[in-house]
């Protein structure tokens, strides 16, 4: 039989819907599995006013249950051949007679067992419990109660449609009884109608001005945007996130365009786009040359007799927004960015650290130091210093106060208007890149230095005063900041150590805002490097097995550029037949050295004390491998370095098969330990393969 389950409610926030649909499917599938109910062809659909579950094939009956369940140990279940309370309780719990219990043997001895059989019941009788459990299990970022009911949901529920095989599934939630009817569009077709089947459900809703299928609604939106852009001779600016949001704001998509006038094109493009997108959910349109046109596309929900009425109303609202933007723009241009930096003295960043003005000075100094550490020329360092100093100035502008998402973007625009070099303006914009895991990265060295300074100043400052992220909260975005540092270093191919970057930031703090960081410097560096190592591990998790990543990180991660190359090279050799035996041999090396740490002496092994052929062969193989590894690492050829280490498998095995490391001769013993230590050091230049396997 088919199942149609729909939760009808007041308009849901668009951002709630995708997670709710995922939860709806997962919970229903989980409940059916627990109840031994076979299902197939499960779909979840949504509009702003409904969350829908459609099941094309739902079993009429549960699967029969037949299994053996074990209970208490035999010695606890029987005494002198008579059943104890433990046996009686177990039998009662399983629904069997005492005489039906029997003994089974296991590794831990004899246990009482019972063979349980349950005949599958009608699924229709189970559906009320299943669906009630599903609807009660929803969790939203914010939930609400209504009337006098204690139940919560994202928005008040107005109806529940629950039909299985054309019959009503009885259940209730927050005073709403389930029924066999649904409702159409709130304004165009608000009446109720009975639903008999899935096909009937889709068809009747379409006739009631509701496109319930999410994919179909999305395609309608895309097609209408294409029609609009063609009509005005342009192209809608690609904005998948806005399309997804609009799809969950409408049930019956309609479209029109607005002509807001060319005078507003004097505003920066980002301001126009943000004004249209953030407040009104309008789509900006660009011409063939990429410049914005004085048009935007509007998707609206209700069919109307005269679309001009809708257009005029939307245009009035949009022009009011754009007039505000023009006012903010002109007012902001009346002050220079240098003046605004001074105003940052009134903006507190963190109570224990100080103001945004102090942060601007630290970022400028740090960006300069980073540029020098990277070997950039003085002109690039000067650009980075100037851009970092001005980077936060737009935070006190009227435009950013109205449109916070334009931080950095407005800084770039004001810098250009104020006569700053293009490179400085671009670096101001790039300070926030990347904003997310798949966002663009800084394209200039100066911008990369500013972006690194911005993140390092936040990381060192927050860790320095104890604002460390927890598993449940990261209010200052430090995980994102650390990942940004890693991605920038990787993308720009900077040969700089993480410890160097952290130390430079610490030096700037001590120089410009001394005494604000409470932690011991060495401890702070260790904590930050460990934090970044964890981010690096997560970043590489999708590229290689976890133990390969762990092996590489255990050998060192300070030079970020080498980590990814070593991981890929080691992962590619993981399947080689000699790899696993070599890992086992190296683990033996590590274990011996750990146990004999007290006897280990610094220095290379003495060749004249290598008296047996296997240890002489291992020493020669080690020297050859070291030469190859040195050359490979100099050339950053991680594959060649790993291949050189793999070839040590045979001499290592031969050594352990024929040489007694812990001989009674102390000189020979210490020399052999020195040989193993040299071998360990060579491997640890690439990876600690003892953690693999």
164: left (phi over 0), alpha (psi -120 to 50) or beta: beta
- pLDDT number for residue 416: 96
Beta-carbon contacts of residue 466 (< 8 Å; ≥ 6 apart): 518, 519
| Band of residue 74 on the pLDDT scale cut at 50, 70, 90 | confident
Domain regions of the chain by residue span: 3-61+122-207, 73-115, 214-332, 344-540, 567-691
Mean pLDDT of 133-158: 95
Cα separation, 8 vs 619, whole angstroms:
76
Concatenating the DSSP letter of every residue in 184-196 gives --TTTS--EEE--
Residue 377 near residue 361 (C-beta atoms within 8 A):
no
φ, ψ (nearest 5 deg) of residue 110: -85, 140
Pick the CATH number of 344-540 from 2.60.120, 3.20.20, 3.40.50, 1.10.3210: 1.10.3210
**What is the pLDDT, as a whole number, of residue 571?**
87
Q: Which residues of 1-38 are buried (b: 16+ CB within 10 A; e: fewer)?
A: ebbbbbbbbeebebebbeebbebbeebbeebbeebbbe
The per-residue pLDDT for 532 is 96
Please name which of 378, 370, 382 lies closest in space to residue 500, comparing C-alpha atoms.
370
pLDDT digits over 171-222, tens only? 999 999 999 999 999 999 999 999 999 999 999 999 999 999 999 999 999 9
> Sheet holding 109-118: strands in order across?
65-73, 109-118, 102-106
Give the pLDDT confidence of 534-584 residue by residue, as tens digits.
999 999 988 888 989 999 999 899 999 899 889 988 888 887 888 888 888
d(CA 135, CA 133): 6
CA atoms lying within 13 Å on the CB side of residue 224: 23
pLDDT higher than threshold 70 for residue 276: yes
Rounded CA-CA distance 618/585 in Å is: 13
Identify the pLDDT of residue 102.
84
**Tens digit of each residue's pLDDT (9 = 90 or more) over 583-601:** 888 888 888 888 888 877 7
pLDDT in tens, 219-253: 999 999 999 999 999 999 999 999 999 999 999 99
Rounded Cα distance between 135 and 23, Å, is 10
Nearest Cα residue to 532 out of 483, 489, 567: 483
Q: pLDDT tens for residues 308-348?
A: 999 999 999 999 999 999 999 999 999 999 999 999 999 99
pLDDT for 486: 96
> What is the tens place of the pLDDT at every residue in 501-526?
999 999 999 999 999 998 899 999 99
Q: What are the beta bridge partners of residue 70?
A: 113
Percent of the chain with pLDDT over 90: 73
| Model pLDDT, residue 471 | 86
Fold of domain 567-691:
Isoleucyl-tRNA Synthetase; Domain 1 (1.10.730)
Confidence class for position 693, pLDDT limits 50, 70, 90: low
What mean pLDDT, rounded, does the chain reach?
93
Torsion of the alpha carbons at 283, 288, 291 and 293, rounded to the nearest 10: -50
pLDDT value of residue 128: 97
Instruction: Please check the confidence at residue 256 and state whether its pLDDT lies above 70.
Output: yes
pLDDT reported for residue 596: 83
Residue 300: strand, helix, or coil: strand
- Say what the pLDDT of residue 599 is: 79
For 625-676, the pLDDT digits (tens) are: 999 999 998 998 989 998 999 889 899 999 989 989 888 898 898 899 999 9
């Amino acid at each position: 039989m088919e199942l149609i389950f729909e939760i009808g409610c007041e308009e849901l926030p668009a951002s709630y819907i995708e997670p709710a649909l995922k939860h709806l499917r997962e919970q229903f599938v989980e409940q059916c599995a627990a109840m031994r109910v076979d299902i197939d062809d499960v779909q979840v659909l949504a509009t702003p006013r409904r969350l829908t579950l459609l099941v094309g094939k739902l079993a009429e009956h549960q699967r029969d249950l037949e299994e053996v369940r074990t209970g208490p140990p035999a010695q606890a279940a029987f005494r002198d051949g008579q059943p104890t309370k433990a046996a009686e309780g177990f039998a009662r719990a399983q629904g069997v007679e005492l005489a039906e219990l029997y003994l089974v043997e296991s590794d831990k001895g004899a246990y009482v067992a019972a063979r349980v059989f349950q005949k599958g019941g009608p699924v229709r009788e189970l559906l009320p419990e299943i669906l009630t459990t599903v609807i009660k299990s929803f969790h939203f970022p914010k939930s609400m109660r209504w009337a006098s009911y204690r139940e919560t949901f994202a928005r008040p529920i107005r109806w529940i449609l629950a039909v299985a095989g054309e019959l009503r599934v009885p259940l209730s939630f927050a005073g709403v009884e389930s029924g066999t009817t649904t409702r159409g569009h709130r304004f165009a077709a608000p009446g109720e109608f009975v639903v008999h089947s899935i096909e009937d459900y889709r068809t009747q809703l379409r006739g009631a001005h509701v496109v319930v299928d999410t994919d179909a609604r999305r395609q309608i939106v895309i097609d209408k945007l294409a029609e609009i852009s063609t009509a005005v001779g342009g192209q809608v600016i690609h904005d998948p996130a806005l399309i997804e949001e609009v799809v969950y704001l409408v049930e019956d998509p309609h479209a029109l365009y607005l002509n807001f006038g060319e005078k507003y094109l004097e505003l920066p493009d980002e301001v126009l786009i943000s004004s249209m997108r953030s407040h009104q959910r309008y789509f900006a349109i660009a011409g063939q040359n990429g410049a914005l046109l004085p048009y935007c596309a509007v998707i609206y929900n209700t069919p109307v007799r005269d679309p001009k009425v809708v257009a005029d109303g939307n245009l009035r609202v949009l022009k009011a927004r754009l007039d505000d933007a023009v006012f903010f723009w002109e007012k902001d241009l009346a002050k220079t960015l240098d003046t605004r930096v001074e105003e940052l003295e009134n903006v507190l960043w963190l109570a224990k650290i100080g103001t945004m003005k102090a942060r601007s000075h630290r970022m400028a100094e740090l960006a300069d130091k980073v540029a020098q550490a990277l070997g950039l020329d003085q002109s690039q360092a000067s650009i980075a210093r100037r851009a970092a100093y001005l980077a936060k100035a737009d935070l006190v502008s009227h435009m950013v106060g109205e449109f916070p998402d334009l931080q950095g973007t407005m800084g770039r625009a004001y810098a250009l208007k104020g006569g700053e070099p293009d490179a400085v303006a671009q670096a101001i914009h790039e300070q926030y890149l990347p904003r997310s895991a798949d966002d663009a990265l800084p394209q200039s060295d100066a911008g990369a230095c500013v972006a690194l300074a911005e993140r390092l100043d936040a990381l060192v400052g927050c860790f320095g005063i104890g604002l460390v992220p927890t598993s449940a909260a990261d209010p200052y975005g430090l995980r994102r900041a650390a990942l940004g540092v890693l991605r920038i270093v990787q993308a720009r191919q900077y040969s700089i150590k993480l410890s160097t970057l952290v130390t430079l930031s610490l030096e700037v703090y001590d120089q410009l805002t001394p005494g604000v960081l409470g932690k011991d410097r060495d401890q702070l560096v260790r904590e930050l490097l460990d934090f970044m190592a964890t981010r690096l591990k997560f970043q590489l998790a999708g590229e290689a097995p976890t133990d390969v990543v762990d092996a590489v990180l255990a050998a060192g991660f300070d030079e970020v550029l080498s980590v990814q190359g070593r991981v890929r090279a080691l992962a590619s050799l993981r399947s080689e037949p000699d790899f696993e035996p070599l890992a086992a041999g190296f683990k033996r090396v590590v274990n011996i050295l750990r146990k004999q740490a007290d006897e280990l002496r610094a220095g290379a092994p003495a060749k004249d004390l290598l008296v047996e052929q296997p240890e002489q062969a291992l020493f020669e193989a080690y020297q050859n491998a070291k030469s190859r590894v040195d050359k490979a690492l100099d050339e950053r050829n991680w594959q060649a370095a790993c291949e050189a280490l793999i070839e040590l498998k045979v001499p290592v095995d031969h050594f352990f098969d024929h040489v007694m490391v812990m001989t009674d001769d102390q000189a020979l013993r210490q020399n052999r330990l020195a040989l193993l230590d040299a071998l360990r050091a060579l491997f640890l230049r690439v990876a600690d393969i003892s953690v693999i396997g």
